[in-house]
Amino acid sequence: MQSQLNVLVVDDEPAIRMTLESVFADAGWCVRTADTAEEALEQLQKISCDVLVTDKNLPGINGVKLIREARRVHRDLVALLITGYASVESAEETLHLDVDGYLEKPFEDVYGLVEKVRLALARRKRAQPLVAIQKARASVSKGASGRLRFVAAISSEGDRAWLRKEMESTSCELCSVNSAVELSRHTDQERPDMLFLDASLKELDIFQVIAKLRAKYDDLAIVVIADAPSLRDLVRLIDLKVQALVRRPLDHDQFQRRVGSLVELVQIKASASDEMQPRSAGAIP
């Protein structure tokens, strides 16, 4: 028998807490609530927790810091952030957070929130075990990881050249394309390790492309390059689990902040996957 899911809901609005508590309890989950991050952290020291659902804008410690602190106690915690996306800046910040899902206020379908939690749980279950990833980090730091395959669909030859130069220090094969047909050829038959998508490619609907690739490769690392994305576009990118956004004009510092750690994570996951591959019958340990 599967153990009951333990969920902690953190929000300073009583109506939101009561709504989520009721909806998640109806799903058969054990639900606890807190109205501040400080109270939530106290509870997390004492209880078992599988899922943390927290508002981003809490009094005192905010939801982002709460998630970071909570994962010190429960490393494999599934974390979902309640957001309002009041501005382009806050939406862009949210896109770059290490969270498993987003619940946007106002809630249009409260019972659809249960499905969002289940999807986040499924993604985490398919992810590499943390121990294997941590073990692989040493291999990556010593340069033992294999050659990774990155695909870049970028309109400008200058931007493609800039990206090639920026990626020279990584152990990757960078395939540059400038059309939807070429992109399909490079992604349909073989899964890339990372994909760079230029929002300005005229013949390319990046949202459609990302949705298609997400259905096929759920954990694919995706970076979008854009000029000035709208709030609506950012919300769509967040829903599609895009991991990073790089704004033009391209520069080294911004790229490293947005993409450097993501490249390292891709290398670590690839190395962890190699660690977990079963040895052949004749392999010598």
pTM: 0.73
Q: What is the pLDDT of residue 34?
A: 97
Interatomic CA distance for residues 224 and 258, integer angstroms: 11
Two tokens, residue 276: 């977990």
Per-residue pLDDT of the chain (285 residues; tens, 9 = 90+): 456 899 999 999 999 999 999 999 999 999 999 999 999 999 999 999 999 999 999 999 999 899 989 988 888 899 999 987 668 887 888 788 778 877 888 888 888 889 989 988 887 776 544 444 444 444 444 444 457 889 999 988 999 999 999 988 877 889 999 888 889 989 988 889 999 999 998 878 999 999 999 888 888 999 999 999 998 899 889 888 899 999 999 999 999 988 988 888 787 777 665 554 543 444 433
Closest by alpha carbon to 259, among 186, 135, 201, 174?
174
Q: What is the pLDDT of residue 135?
A: 47
Compute CA distances 224 → 126, 145, 172, 250, whole Å: 24, 25, 18, 12
Domains of the chain: residue spans and CATH: 6-126 (3.40.50.2300), 132-276 (3.40.50.2300)
Contacts of 67 (CB under 8 A, 6+ apart): 52, 54, 77, 79, 81, 97, 98, 99
Q: What is the pLDDT of residue 1?
A: 41
Classify 256 as helix, strand or coil.
helix
Q: Nearest 5°: CA angle at 66, between 60 and 67?
A: 160
